Structure 1
């Protein structure tokens, strides 16, 4: 938490790996960790980047061979890794591991919720599949196609709703037709996304619209990592035990995805997301998927609408407070009328700021956030009233403690303030509050005699001196 708070305003990059359970998602993420930490080290020391060397041992995300699942829900690596982009901006890179989408120990609804949530919050969603891109893998993308359609139909269009989708085909066997790596993967993906009349309509729609709703779609074909990796309890993370061909292909793929030239921050509703905002986004998206049914495209849209309204409401409230701070600046108390005039003026400005936020999703979401903004502004008004009232007491006390040399109770009254004090004493004696001055725990009679003494003392001294000279 301390690390996140120290970089709360840094743009965040979220790399997620999703796919069927027990297919090496956590194993793949450890190569990402190895690369990012070595990249960070080389940037800090201004040295050449070396990674995946013979003496390297993988560690980080827990993984194992076997048929039982090893990741439940969604896991984030415990700290952001700071990487300097090619533009010089520092990005906080987060790595996300997810529960298998076809886990036999979880319901279909749970699997799809994890898959949907990880895709929504990630900058890059890596879809980890084995041997081939099956029809069911594409079918699970239908949720995002439907959401993309709804998002693109909104009055305010922020561009494509999703950023980058990468198919990582593991243990690919058809090397004779498609070469390993990105080039072969591009050709392979083009073939997979082709449509034909025999396909079900929903599959055809997914194929036709994926490129329209994702900014970028890529595919990498990877060979088998070596049988020593697959043998249970035999692989301890030593890179030297990897199949050389697998190792070389990883050294090409990982920099292409995570290198300084290719990293892109997370974008939500057309705006770059910071680490601080990302925490709020996780909460809102998770809340929208918290139910007994499959996540609905409308739920995702309403979650995005709520995020827009929350940001607009925050900006409106900050603007109101800044305006009120300027209006109430100073040590003198304002009249209640002027305070309310300032409140109305800056309150209207705040509501106009909120009203200008893009209108997407449900109107109910906007209405509820507007009510919350009005409550917050009214609460701030009460705070400004209390601060203003405090100036009433402070002003009176300051006047009474002005510089002087009166011997009574150690209180001095400066001659320049004596007229105002006299007026205040007479007003308070009459039981009327005026000029922002209120009674304090000193007898009014005592105050009057102090004032009278200060004014009459010089006269008595002059008369006494004249009598002495005679």
Structure 2
């Protein structure tokens, strides 16, 4: 169960004390417990306009976010409530209630600007709450939107070269900004324009229409409207009548549904239904879905950047998040492999087939787990770390399996050879015919040894070592046997040599089979890794294309409307933005051709490790044989 299901009341996410912003650790701990994608709804607006009431309705609660019943602003900073998404399984709804803008007690418009900026950066849907009508005063009160290009950068300042790049960047805010919903509270007018009934969305579009002209007054009038139209990928409007009679407004939190105005309840229902159905999962630049844990990291990065006096940068934030998440993905995936191999280790010694099959299965599973969590690992740096860490652990386990096999085989041969050792002490083989008896007892040991199951990968090597060590002993008994002629002894000597050679060949065959199996498994691991990389690469390219398609769709809608209204000059400028976005989309599509360059360094990693293992084992085997001579 995620911590989102356990939250009973909202908790402060960003503390705002004397104009200083600070992320609250308790809220980060809550977000760290949410590993599923989050849909983030932020609400902003002037203080005492009823924002908290709407958030309580979205949370499915009567109370929660503080409402207050005086002119004093109750919400300070940004407060958060996490609840299971009411209609999308496997998702968490994160509601962010911001302190009221324009609070007379605060008197700090810059601080208001950063609160607004954080709401935009963290949310997938931004709700702007106002009262009365959407007139010029209401639009001007949303002047914070005109400052966003100064407070948010898409690319790192060091990667920008001049004014053209900045203008190109401004055109791409629509790719990364949330959807925009304007809620008008206490709306008393009829939805009519020039005597014709209009929808709420048409009312908003009418209020955001641009005026023709080039003087400063017209430019000032158009600027906030143009920003809203240009920066947000979609716009939606809801109008709400007053929720209750004036005497009941002070106790809105305690009112029962039957005490509320029916029209207000109906509007609230439509609003909540829209938010639940149409608000998307929060995504990063590049299309990666944000989990609760990532949202917590994102909040910390942005608040720390703002507190240091710098401008939040989407590109830098994504890189910082990617480094954190990719390292965590390596550790998590490696632990999946280690946990699985611990079960194999408990059964040591095991055969090479059993050992490599489990290694292959768990390695592929670990890669899959890494792929699920990692993102923007453009050079494969973190996947390479994972492959190397798995292979190093694999080598260690291989040595442990071999040692376990050697130990078991030696102990088994010691037990089986007790009888032959006792008979040697008693001189049982010193009599005529003793060599024949010795060979029979030795053959019985070998037969019993071969019947014993689960000896592991060193079975033939340990047997070869045993027979080699017993060679001088057998030779002494052979030459002391008076029943055998000199010719018989020469024949038996040749048989002894042939038997030892045969056993040596079995040991080498055992090693050859092991090496071949390792090569085969590594090849199959590579193929699976490349397949998973290709799938992830294609998915990321598709996410980026969808990102650009949404931006283009928004810009094309705006371009068509400007042309209809006769704003030819503005439409031409927007046409340049559309052209820029199309070129960006073509670059994304073309990036699919670099997949081979992306994977080749990763493919060689496993091969090199396995080559080194086999080379090391070959050298070790040769040195062992040399010293035994």
Whether TM exceeds 0.5 here: the answer is yes
Q: Counterpart of 1:211?
A: 229
In the other structure, the counterpart of 2:275 is: 257
CA deviation profile, 1:189-239 (whole Å, cap 9, x unmatched): 432342453447576444324333322112222222223476434761312
Residues of 1 paired with 2:407 and 2:177: CA distance?
62
Query: Which of 267, 292, 308 is equivalent to 1:278?
Result: 292
Residue 405 of structure 2 corresponds to: 395
Q: Residue 461 of structure 2 corresponds to which residue in structure 1?
A: 420
**What does residue 186 of structure 1 align with?**
202
Q: After TM superposition, give the deviation of residue 16 of structure 1 in Å.
A: 2.0
Closer, same or farther: CA 80–64 of 1 in aligned 2, 3 Å? same
Q: CA deviation at 1:418?
A: 8.0
Which one has more relative contact order, counting CA pairs under 8 Å at least 6 apart?
Answer: 1
Number of residue pairs matched?
376
Check the 8 A contact 2:181/2:235 in 1, yes or no. Answer: yes
Residue number in structure 2 paired with 1:340: none
CA 1:201/1:455 → structure 2, altered by over 3 Å: closer, same or farther?
A: farther
Tell me whether 1:162 sits opposite 2:177 in the alignment: yes
Deviates more, 1:317-326 or 1:68-77: 317-326
- 8 Å contact kept, 1:169–1:221: yes
Give the SS at the match of 1:211. Answer: helix
Structure with more of its chain in helix, by fraction? 2
Cα distance, 1:240 vs structure 2: 1.9
Does the Cα contact within 8 Å between 1:195 and 1:207 map onto a contact in 2?
no
Consecutive unaligned residues in structure 1, runs of 5 or more = 38-57, 335-345, 360-365, 428-447, 464-470
Q: Secondary structure at the residue paired with 1:101?
A: coil
What are the residue-to-residue correspondences of 1:446-465 with 2, within 5 Å? none
Asked if 1:128 corresponds to 2:138, the answer is: no
Please give the alpha-carbon distance, in whole angstroms, between the structure 1 residues aligned to 2:349 and 2:5.
35
Say which SS state the counterpart of residue 160 (structure 1) adopts: helix
Q: Which has the larger radius of gyration?
A: 2
User: Aligned residue for 1:59?
Assistant: 63
- Alpha carbons of structure 1 residues 99 and 21: separation in structure 2 relative to 1, 3 Å: same
Distance in 2 between residues matched to 1:392 and 1:201, nearest whole Å: 79
Cα distance per residue 1:363-382 (max 9 Å; x no partner): xxx99x96x88877776666
Residue 149 to residue 208, structure 1, CA distance change in 2 (3 Å): farther
Deviation at 1:150, TM superposition (A): 4.1
Tell me which residue corresponds to 2:80: 76
Structure 1 segment 62-461 matched on structure 2, within 5 A: 62-84=66-88, 91-103=91-103, 104-105=105-106, 107-133=108-134, 134-145=138-149, 150=154, 153=168, 160-175=175-190, 177=192, 183-195=199-211, 197-199=215-217, 204-228=222-246, 231-233=249-251, 236-259=254-277, 262-271=278-287, 273=289, 277-290=291-304, 291-292=306-307, 296-297=311-312, 299-308=313-322, 383-384=393-394, 386-402=396-412, 405-407=416-418, 415-416=449-450, 420-421=461-462, 424=465
- Once residues 381 and 177 of structure 1 are traced to their aligned partners in structure 2, the CA distance between those partners, rounded to angstroms, is 70
Structure 1 residue 145, shift from structure 2 partner: 4.5
When normalised by structure 1's length, the TM-score is 0.61
Could you list the per-position Cα deviations for residues 351-374 of structure 1 after superposition, in whole angstroms to 9, with x for gaps in the alignment?
xx9xx9769xxxxxx99x96x888
Distance 2:307 2:80 in 1: 24
User: For residues 187 and 42 of structure 2, what CA distance do their matches in structure 1 show?
Assistant: 21
Task: Quickly say closer, same or farther: Cα 1:381–1:159, change in 2 above 3 A.
Answer: farther
Partner of 2:455: none
Once the 2 structures are TM-superposed, how far is the Cα of residue 241 of structure 1 from its aligned partner? 2.0
Report if the CA contact (8 A) 1:162-1:214 is conserved: yes
* 1:307-342 C-alpha deviation (Å, 9 max, x unpaired): 45556667788899999999x9997999xxxxxxxx
Instruction: Note the C-alpha offset of 1:289.
Output: 2.4
CA RMSD of aligned residues (A): 5.2
C-alpha deviation, 1:19, in angstroms:
1.7
**1:126-162 superposed Cα distances (whole Å, 9 cap, x missing partner):** 01122245344332113444578846946xx797212
Counterparts of 2:151 and 2:351, CA distance in 1: 54
Question: Residues of 2 paired with 1:141 and 1:418: CA distance?
Answer: 75
Separation in 1 of the partners of 2:402 and 2:43? 61
Instruction: Structure 2: give runs of 5+ residues left out of the alignment.
Output: 7-32, 156-166, 353-363, 420-444, 451-457, 483-629
Measured after TM superposition, the shift of residue 242 of structure 1 is 1.7
8 Å contact from structure 2 (residues 35, 292) kept in 1 = no
Distance in 2 separating the partners of 1:418 and 1:221: 81
The normalised TM-score by structure 2 is 0.48
Partner of 1:338: none
What is the CA–CA distance in structure 2 between the aligned matches of 1:455 and 1:228, rounded to whole Å?
111
